[in-house]
Chains A and B, each alone.
Chain A
Amino acid sequence: MITWLLQLAHRLRSFFHRNQLDRDLDAELRSHLDMAIECNIAQGMSSEEARHQALLDFGGLEQTRESYREHRGFPFLDTLLQDLRFAFRMLRKSPGFTSVAVLTLALGIGANTAIFSLTDQILLRDLPVPHPEQLVILRSPGPDHGHTWSDVDGGAQSFSYLMYKDLRERSTVFSGLLACRETTVNVSSHGETQRANADLVSGNFFETLEVQPALGRLFMPGDETAPGANTVAVLSYSYWTRQFGADPSILNKPLTVNGVPLTVVGVTRKGFYSVQIGSTPDIFIPVTMREQMAPNPNQKLEDRTDHWLPVMGRLKPGTTLAQAQAELQPIYQPMLESDAKLLELSGKDLKLFISKPLLLIGGGHGRLVRQEGAEKPLRVLTTMVGLVLLIACANLAGLLTARGETRQREIAVRLAMGARRARLIRQLLTESLLIAIAGGAAGIALACWCLNAITAAVPPDQGMLGLVRSPDLRVLWFAVALTLATAVLFGFAPATRTTRLNLQTTLKDQGSNVCAGRSNLFLRKVLIVSQVALTAVLLAGAGLFARTLANLEHANLGVNTSHVLQFKVAPDLNGSTPRQTLAFADRARNEIAAFPGVRSVSISTAAIFDGDDYGFNITPEGYPMHPGDDTDVLYDYIGPNYFSTMGIPLIAGREFTEADTAGSPKVCIINEKLAQRFFAGRNPLGLHVTRGAGNTNTNPPMEIVGVVANSKWADARSDIVPFLYMPYAQDANLGHLAFYVRTERDPSPMAASLRSLIERLDSNLPVYNLRTLEEQVSNSMLNDRLVAGLSISIALLAALLAALGLYAVLAYAVAQRTREIGIRIAIGGERADILRLIGGQGVRLTVVGGAIGIVAALVAGQWVASLLYGVTAHDPLTFVAVIVLLAMVSVAACYIPARRAMRVDPMVALRYE
C-alpha cells in the first residue's frame, strides 16, 4: 500500500515536471556515456572507437528514453493530451467536416435529451420523497357497486373513507397508510376569488411521505378528527410564492376556501408536489373537510358505499409486497362482506364482489393514476429520436470513413515508422470524442430550447404544470452518457478500418489509383442503406401521425364548433344550494341571451370535450333485459336550446323548454345510438327510461320527449355511446355549470363582457375554461398534436441527415473516380453514361434502403396502431408518400455530385494528381 502511494506521488510529481525531468534524464545519460567513453579510452581505444563501443554497450538511447518515460508520470495522460492537441489541429484544418459533424450530433443528442427529459419527468422519475421504493398503491379490481370514483386507468382503486380508516387501524405492515384525493376549490383572498387545485389528505399524509415544512408545520394525525372540524390548510411552496409572494406572515392567518375560513398552518418544502406526477396541488386540506371542499349532497364523508379515496401506504422497512398482501387480504375480506350487506347484494353479484382481491402496486414512481395517455406516445417518440441518433451516428461513421481514406497515406507512413495500431486507433477515437463532446454541448443547448418550445406549446391548464423546462442533472448525465456512447458508436468502425492497411500497396498506389477500391466503399454503402431504411421508418411513422391528426381535426364531431364560446362556473364550491344555483343559471342564461350578437345560449352540467364523464345504468321501458346486459349510458343535464346552440340536429320530438321545470313531469332526450340500442324498431317518443335497476320509487321514470343525432362526447377519438340528456332544472344536485354561447360573428371579443357579467351577478364566482369551443376541441387533441408535430420534425431531421449522408458518399465517389471518369470521357464515353454511373449508384442505395425501411415500417406500424385514428398501420397513401419523398431526397442528394461528374474535363482530370 505504501509502495503504491509512494509510486503515485512520484508519478504525480513527474507528470507536472516532465520537461525538467526530461532534461535531467538527458544530462544523466550524457554523463553515463562520457564516463563510458573515458573508460574505453583509458583501455586504449581511439576516441572514435571508444564512442562507438560506449553506444553499443548502452544499447539504444532513444528506447531507453521512451521506456523511461513510460514508467514515469502518467503516460496515458501524456498521450491523451498529445492526442487532443493533435485532434484539435486536425479538426480545425477541415472546418467544413467539423461543423457538419458537430451539427449532426447536436441535432441527434439534442432531440434525444429533450425527449428523455419529458420521459424522465413523466414516466421514470420517483417521487421526490425519502425511500420512494417503500410506497405502494392499494387497488381492488373487480365489480363496483354504490358510488365509485375511478380514474382513467379504469380500475376501481378508490376506497370509502371508513374503509380506509379501518385498513389504517387494523394493518400492521405499513409504517403509514395515507389517503389523498384531488379536487378543485375557490380561494378568496385580497377581495377576489380564484380557483385552486387542492388535495384532500389524511392527517398522516406528510408524516408518511416524510415531507418537511418550509414554514410552520404540516398536518399531523390530530388534524383529522371529525367531519367539518379541521379548518386548517397547508400551502404548497409554489402556490405560496406565486400567490402570496413567499410572505411568511401568511402563517396562522385565515384563508377563505369555498367560503370556509381555514387557518394556514404551514408551507411544504420546495420541490414536493404530491403523490401523483403531473398533479400540482396548491393547497392541502384535511380529508375530513370533504363535504365543504367538494360539496355534493349525495356524498357524505362517512358513507361506506361511496368509494372515492385513493389510498397509498409506506411499507415498513424489510416488508415485501407479498408479505403485506398476505396480511391485508384477511383484514380486507370481512370489510367487503359487510359492505356487500349494506349494498344489499345477492347471488352472483355478491360472490363476485366479496372475492375482490386487495392488491399492492409499487407507488414510488408517483403514478396513482397512470399516465396512460402519455406513456405510449412518449415511448414512440423516444424510439423515433433514438433512430435519429442512429442515423446521425451512421452519417458520422460515413464521414469519418471518407476522411480516413483521404488520410490513408498519413496513417500508412505513421504505421511504417513503427506506430502501434492500437495507438493510432486511440488517436482517431480521440478525434471522434472531441467531435462528440462539441456535439453533445451544442445538443444540450438545443435540448433546452426544444423543451421550452414543447412546454410552451402546451396550454397551462392542460395538466403539464409539473414539467420542468430546463434539463436537470439527471438529464445532463444522460446527455453525457449518450455523447460518449455515440463517439464509440460512430468512431470505432472507421478507426479500425482506416488503420487496417496493407502498407506496401497503400504507399505505392495511393495517388495513382484509376478506380477506388470497391471494398473501401462497402462499409459506407451499408451505412447509407441503413440511414435510408431508418429514415423510411421515421417518415412512415410521421406520415401516419400526421394523417391521424388530420383525421381528428376533420372528424365529424356531430357538433357545430364554430362561433361558440364556452365557460364554466362552480357555484356549489361557494356553498350555493342546488336551488340557488338553478336560479343563478336561469338568470345568467337570460341575461346572456339579451346580449347583442348572441344567437342562442345554453347550459350543461358536464362539459363537452373536457374529460367530464358521468354515467349510470338505465332500465328502458319495454326492453327485454338479458342477464349481463350492458345498460350503461352517459348522461348530462342541459338547458333549453342546448341542441340548437351546439348545432346538434333534432331528429324527432322536441328540445327542453322553459316549461320543463323541477316540478313538471320528468323528461329526457336520447341520442340515436341509445334509440337504436334499446328501442330498435319502436318509436321511442312517449316511452320511458328509468335510472338504475328500475326501482321507480327512488328514481321516477322519465318520458322520452326527443331524439337527437349522435355527437362525440369526450374527444374526437371516442366512439359514439348511448347518451341520455335531462333538463338541468330537474337535477336535484345542480352544482357546476358549463355555458355555451353561439354568436353571430367572431365569438372571442365577447369573452370579456361575459366575464364581467358573471362578476356582476356574483363577484365571488371565478369563471374558468373561458375559450371558444374550437379551442376546447383543439386542446382535447393536445397529445395527438404534440405527437404529430414532434414526429414530423424528427422525420424531416432524419431525411435531412440521410440526404447529407448520401450526398457525401456520392460526392466522395466522384472525387475518387475523377480520373476514371476523365478516361471514360476521353475515350468517347457518353455524358449520359456518366450520369447513370454516379446517379445509378445513389438510386440503387436508396431503393435498397427504402425497401428495407418500408418493410420495417409495416412491421413497426402495428406497435403504434393504438395511437392512430382513421388510418391503418399500413395506410397505402402514407407509404406512397414516403416513397415519393425518399425519391425526391435521393434525387436532390445525387444531383450535385452527378452534375459535377458530367462536367469533368478529361484534360484536367488526367493531369490531376
Chain B
Amino acid sequence: MPPKAEVLQGTLDLLVLKTLDTLGPMHGFGIAQRIQQVSQDLLCLNQGTLYPALLRLEQRGWISSKWGVSDNNRNAKFYSLTRRGRKQLREEAEGWNQMAAVINRVLKATS
C-alpha cells in the first residue's frame, strides 16, 4: 500500500464542492467517506478539518446547510451546493486543470 498523501493546502474546498456536486445534498461524514473512497484511500483526510472548511464555504455562500435525516435514520446536517457554489466549482476546477497541466508539462520537460 503506497504512503497516503496529505490533502494539499487549498484543495479541500475543491474536493468538497465537487463531492457535493456529484452526490447532491450530503452530511459531513458522507462527504469524508466519499472523498476517501474516490481517492481509493490514497488521501489522508483528517475528518475533523472538514468542518471548518464546510463553515468557510457556507460563509462564502457556496454551500448551504439544513438539518435532515440520514439513510439509517439519524439526525444529520446536510450540505448542498448553491448556484454560486456551482459557478465557483467550475472556476476552481478549470484553474486546477490548468495548473496541473502546466506542472505536468514542466515535469516532462525536465525529465
Contact = CB atoms under 8 A, between A and B. Distances in A.
A31 B55 contact: no
Interface in B5-23: none
Contacts of B59: 6-7, 10-11, 71
A36 B74 CA distance: 12
Interface string B32-50: 1100000000000011110
Interface residues of B, number: 24
Contacts of A38: 72
Contacts of B47: 32, 36, 57-59
A28 B48 contact: no
Contact of B55 (A3, A34, A58, A68): A68
Contact of A72 (B48, B55, B70): B55
Contact of B77 (A28, A34, A60, A72): A28
A6 B52 contact: no
Contacts of A34: 74
Contacts of B92: none
B77 A61 contact: no
A63 interface: yes
Interface string B51-86: 110011011110000000010101111000000000
A54 to B, nearest CB: 9
Contact of A39 (B33, B46, B48, B61): B33
Interface residues of A, number: 30
Contact of A60 (B28, B33, B48, B75): B48
Given A32-B28, A32-B29, A35-B29, A25 B75 contact: no
B51 A6 contact: no
Given A34-B74, A35-B29, A35-B74, A7 B60 contact: yes
Please classify the interface of chain B as helix (H, G, I), strand (E, B), loop, or mixed, using the class held by over half of its residues. Answer: helix
Interface in A14-37: 24-25, 27-29, 31-32, 34-36
B51 A68 contact: yes
A731 B10 CA distance: 98
Given A31-B27, A35-B70, A39-B33, A64 B48 contact: yes
A256 B70 CA distance: 96
B82 to A, nearest CB: 10
A27 B67 CA distance: 10
Contact of A71 (B27, B28, B56, B70): B56
Nearest to B60: A3
B48 A58 contact: yes
A32 B28 CA distance: 7
A789 B60 CA distance: 64
Contacts of B74: 31, 34-35
A412 B48 CA distance: 30
Nearest to B28: A32
B9 to A, nearest CB: 15
A2 B59 CA distance: 11
A67 interface: yes
B86 to A, nearest CB: 15
Contacts of A61: 48
A27 B32 CA distance: 17
A60 B46 CA distance: 9
Contacts of B61: 2-3, 6
A36 B47 CA distance: 10
Contact of A10 (B33, B52, B58): B58
Contacts of B29: 31-32, 35-36, 39
Contacts of A63: 48
A2 B61 CA distance: 9
Nearest to B75: A31
Residue from B27, B29, B60, B70 with most neighbouring chain A CB atoms (10 Å)? B29
Contacts of B75: 27, 31
B79 to A, nearest CB: 10
A29 to B, nearest CB: 7
Given A6-B60, A7-B60, A10-B58, A35 B76 contact: yes
A64 B72 CA distance: 25
Contact of A28 (B28, B33, B58): B28
A613 B55 CA distance: 82
A19 B11 CA distance: 31
Nearest to A66: B52
Contacts of A25: 51
B56 A31 contact: no
B55 A64 contact: no
B26 to A, nearest CB: 12
A307 to B, nearest CB: 74
Contacts of B32: 32, 57
Contacts of A67: 49, 52
Nearest to A33: B29
Contacts of B51: 25, 28-29, 64, 68
Given A7-B59, A38-B72, A39-B29, 5 more contacts: A10-B59, A31-B29, A31-B75, A59-B47, A71-B56
**Nearest 9 Cβ contacts at the A-B interface:** A64-B48, A59-B46, A6-B61, A35-B29, A10-B59, A7-B59, A32-B29, A58-B47, A59-B48
Interface of A: 2-3, 6-7, 10-11, 24-25, 27-29, 31-32, 34-36, 38-39, 57-61, 63-64, 67-68, 70-72
6 contacts: A27-B75, A32-B29, A32-B76, A36-B29, A58-B46, A64-B48
